A and B are shown apart, each in its own frame.
Chain A
Amino acid sequence: MAKHVLTGIPVSSGVAIGKAFFLNKNRLSQAPRQTIDEGLVRQEQQRLGQAFTLASQELERIRGNVPKELQEHGALIDSYLMILRDKKLGDSAGEYIKRLRINAEWALEKAVADVEQMFNAIDDEYIRARMQDVRLVTQRVMDQFAGQENGAMPVGHRVILMAHDLTAADTIELEVDKIMAFATAMGGKTSHAGILARSLQIPAIVGVEELEQSITDNSIVILDGFNGRILIQPTEDELNKYTGLQYRFEDYQRSLTRVCHLPGETRDGYRVDVFANIELFEEVTSVLDNGGEGIGLYRTEYNYMNRSTFPTEDELTEIYTDLATIVAPNKVVIRTLDLGADKLSSFGALEEANPAMGLRAVRFCMAHKDIFRTQLRAILRAGTQGHVSIMFPMISGLQELKEIKAFYFQIKEELRKEGTAYNPDIPLGIMIEVPAAVLVADSLAREVDFFSIGTNDLIQYCLGIDRTNKHVDYLYQPLHPAIVTSIKSVIDSAHRAGIEVSVCGEMAADPFCIPILMGMQVDSISLTPQAIPGIKRIIRQVPMEDCKVLLKEVLESESVAGNNVLVKEMIFRRFPDELMFYTSLLDGD
């Protein structure tokens, strides 16, 4: 066993073995607080001004060294510079020195506290988070007071970088080609270090407890980005094991790059179309890069959130048209608004004891037809470009679906009468995610052109558990016999009616669930773009025959545990890499 093992949150996969190097380990020291004589006020103000100038020059130097591929970060540095030069900081701190006769460090702390107070009053999480930028910038000034060098890493070899936290500006200064991996004491799943590590494709762990206390510069460590572990002073055996894992992962990644642009087709010729789920227009690039064959689920909620007015028809038409055009000749499935009144700030919160079962998705849209009309008209108009489909979420019965279709036809008629250009033949589909829809899938299938099974909600509604509730999340079981049977029955209903069926929940992105869905002969899947290469690799390597055998066994088994074992055995036999490199839904969090 290694001398010591630390754990944290893995945010970027991979393994690194090397020497630890700490960035700014001494940064945490408290600034001194002193009162000063009146005669020293001028001198203290000059010291303050000088520290600001030096910090500003340093940032400008960093700005000048930002490589082209990181221009996003460059723009961030520009905003840091603006903050640094803001009179709310420098001028205000200067005033404090004069008025309270305190030293520059203390005065700056007070100026920052004022800004913080202003920011705390803001009802916008993003803007509130900018307070971090203010703190980061002032830390740079504080470092100047202390005469601390905040410069580049004095290293000649590649290191595993350790830091209390890594902010955008810190990461700019790093010579990225010298870094094998990151670990930080602070941070969570969405922190900047993780985003950077994934873009650089190096392993990273954040939120590591006792990182600073346990590791010293130059100690040999193994950083395991799969499991979020750091092994300090590993044994010979551990080194051998992880070196092997490292090579294997590199091979695996190369194989992903090879397959991701090939079609999702099994060795025995069975075809599964692999589409992407997206929320933002900007994600299209990532869909294409990862080999997505179109957009199987475009979530439209984003354009309605965090704003005071609803989007106009022209605005939505423009966005949908752009999307349809850029994805053409591939298709885009636009899901109509899937929000509850609780998510629309402009709407005033509705008192609902249980929003998940409340006025949301199509129920909300049918209660607010003006909002629904705007969106449907925009989709119909955008449908003149590319290949657009419409999908209605949260359908629970035939009557509801017929009413929605009647409204949709009424809108088409409006457009026709006005002489506005629109596509009269857009394919119509529905999400199957309410258990009632599973049971009446045969009659629903006769009304639409396709189904898409939303497994996340289906599992929650079917098993009656809220997955984000820590007390019951252990019951979130994708391979519960009730779930497997439900999905199978929906796929069979669709095929009996001669329509296509897709799966768009997280199950579609889970390497361990995909062979079962294939065994059910799902026509397509839709998943987060980043997961596409890994899933395609499985589809291309597993014969349909094996999927069918596995499905039969799973359907005959009566236990969740039994199903999980069956699936893992198959994956172990055929895809040992996946077993190593993925955390499955089946394992829980």
Chain B
Amino acid sequence: MCDAVVQEKAISVQNEFGLHARPAAQIAQEAQKFSSVIHIGMQGREIDAKSILDILSLAAPRGTDLSLKAEGCDAYEAVQRIARLFEERFGEGR
């Protein structure tokens, strides 16, 4: 057993085309590697970061502010890794 922790971080969508299919796939893929429950919040709504369909349903364009929240043993690492995807603009270059 481990100690469940709650980890939160404010992030923003920086890639040119926003959270379209490919970034959404990357986020879900990364989130699924962790045992923590991971949520993405946008304007009062919370969705499951492990579901590509949920992420797509945010329809978040560039410039959107989001909150990332994980709860579980590996919450800290999960938040770090997913936040990094956003910072690296999902490898889109711009």
Residues of A within 8 A of B (CB): 75-76, 78-79, 82-83, 85-89, 115, 118-119, 121-124, 126-127, 130, 133-134, 281, 306-309, 318-319
- What separation, in Å, do the CA atoms of A76 and B20 have in the docked complex? 11
A307-B61 in contact (CB<8A):
yes
B18-A86 in contact (CB<8A):
no
Which of the 9-residue segments B1-9, B50-58, B80-88 touches chain A? B50-58
B70 to chain A, nearest CB (A): 17
A118-B21 in contact (CB<8A):
no
Question: Of A86, A118, A308, which is within 8 A of B52 by CB?
Answer: A86
Which residues in chain B, 27-41, are within 8 Å of chain A measured between CB atoms? Answer: 28-29, 32
B53-A115 in contact (CB<8A):
yes
A78-B25 in contact (CB<8A):
yes
Question: Of A83, A87, A127, A134, which is within 8 A of B50 by CB?
Answer: A87
* Residue in A closest to B54 when the chains form the complex, CB atoms: A88
Question: Of B21, B29, B53, B57, which is within 8 A of A76 by CB?
Answer: B21
B57-A83 in contact (CB<8A):
no
- What separation, in Å, do the CA atoms of A376 and B64 have in the docked complex? 25
Question: Of B22, B52, B63, B64, which is within 8 A of A83 by CB?
Answer: B52
* Residue in B closest to A308 when the chains form the complex, CB atoms: B63
The residues of A that contact B52 with a CB separation of less than 8 Å are: 79, 82-83, 86
A82-B20 in contact (CB<8A):
no
Counting chain B CB atoms within 10 Å of each CB, the highest count among A86, A115, A126 belongs to A86
A126-B63 in contact (CB<8A):
no
A134-B53 in contact (CB<8A):
yes
* Residue in A closest to B21 when the chains form the complex, CB atoms: A79
Question: Of A75, A133, A134, A307, which is within 8 A of B18 by CB?
Answer: A307
Q: List 12 A-B contacts (CB under 8 A).
A: A75-B22, A76-B21, A78-B22, A79-B24, A79-B52, A83-B52, A86-B52, A88-B53, A122-B59, A127-B20, A133-B21, A308-B63
- What separation, in Å, do the CA atoms of A225 and B65 have in the docked complex? 47
Apart from A76-B21, A118-B53, list 5 A-B contacts with CB within 8 A. A75-B22, A78-B22, A86-B28, A87-B51, A89-B53
* Residue in B closest to A123 when the chains form the complex, CB atoms: B59
Counting chain B CB atoms within 10 Å of each CB, the highest count among A123, A127, A308 belongs to A127
Nearest 10 CB-CB pairings of A with B: A124-B59, A79-B25, A309-B63, A82-B52, A127-B59, A82-B25, A79-B21, A88-B53, A307-B61, A122-B59
- What separation, in Å, do the CA atoms of A79 and B25 have in the docked complex? 5
Q: A115-B53, A119-B57, A133-B21 are in contact. Are A82 and B29 (CB under 8 A)?
A: yes
A157 to chain B, nearest CB (A): 36
Question: Of B18, B21, B32, B61, which is within 8 A of A130 by CB?
Answer: B21
The residues of B that contact A306 with a CB separation of less than 8 Å are: 18, 61
A60 to chain B, nearest CB (A): 14
- What separation, in Å, do the CA atoms of A87 and B62 have in the docked complex? 27
- What separation, in Å, do the CA atoms of A83 and B32 have in the docked complex? 13
Counting chain B CB atoms within 10 Å of each CB, the highest count among A79, A83, A87, A123 belongs to A79
- What separation, in Å, do the CA atoms of A286 and B83 have in the docked complex? 34
A489 to chain B, nearest CB (A): 42
* Residue in A closest to B63 when the chains form the complex, CB atoms: A309
- What separation, in Å, do the CA atoms of A134 and B53 have in the docked complex? 9
The residues of B that contact A119 with a CB separation of less than 8 Å are: 56-57
B28-A307 in contact (CB<8A):
no
A82-B63 in contact (CB<8A):
no
- What separation, in Å, do the CA atoms of A118 and B57 have in the docked complex? 7
The residues of B that contact A89 with a CB separation of less than 8 Å are: 53
- What separation, in Å, do the CA atoms of A115 and B54 have in the docked complex? 9
A307-B62 in contact (CB<8A):
yes
The residues of A that contact B64 with a CB separation of less than 8 Å are: 308
B76 to chain A, nearest CB (A): 24
A127-B57 in contact (CB<8A):
yes
A307-B63 in contact (CB<8A):
yes
A79-B22 in contact (CB<8A):
yes
* Residue in B closest to A81 when the chains form the complex, CB atoms: B25
